[in-house]
Amino acid sequence: MPFVKVWIHLVWTTKNRAPFLEREIRKPVFDHIRTNAKDKGIYIDFINGYVDHVHCLVSLKSDQTIAKVMQLIKGESAFWINKQKLTKTKFGWQDEYFAISVSESQVEKVRNYIKNQEVHHQKNSFDQEYKLFIDKYGFEKLKG
């Protein structure tokens, strides 16, 4: 059995960044995502977000890919949200997402960042956070 611990900070948004994730539905949605992920063998260490996006810290197993984990989390949760009629109109996630590797020494810092999303977004919009991620992690350079 291989011993693997690869931490990934995942961030994804609602379709068109619509503010579907109001405070009263965030907890049931995040609880459901965590339960569904566990059922599928995906380890979610921490999950939180704001009205239009989700942050999630996961530890990948040796046979898991980021793309497959995102597909399983986003696809099933969108289906569940619509089935539960948690939003007035059809819910969906944006196709794109961020996935950033996290070193073991930074896990606690990332947990705290994810935990404090509501406070963080009282000062900074998701657009500002998005731009920061693009710049900080050099995503523009990767486009080729």
Predicted local distance difference test score (pLDDT) of residue 135: 83
pLDDT tens, position by position, 4-20: 899 999 999 999 999 99
CATH superfamily of 6-142: Transposase IS200-like (3.30.70.1290)
Residue 112: which of 127, 97, 126, 102 has the closest Cα? 102
pTM: 0.89
pLDDT tens, position by position, 60-116: 999 999 999 999 999 999 999 999 999 999 999 999 999 999 999 999 999 999 999
Strand partners, 93: 14
Q: CA-based angle 8:5:105, to the nearest 5? A: 70
Rounded to the nearest 10 degrees, what angle do helices 23-39 and 66-83 cross at? Answer: 130
| 43 pLDDT higher than 80 | yes
% of the chain beyond a pLDDT of 70: 97
Predicted local distance difference test score (pLDDT) of residue 141: 56
pLDDT tens, position by position, 49-75: 999 999 999 999 999 999 999 999 999
Rounded to a whole number of angstroms, the CA Rg of the chain reads 15
Copy the structure tokens of residue 144. Answer: 């080729």
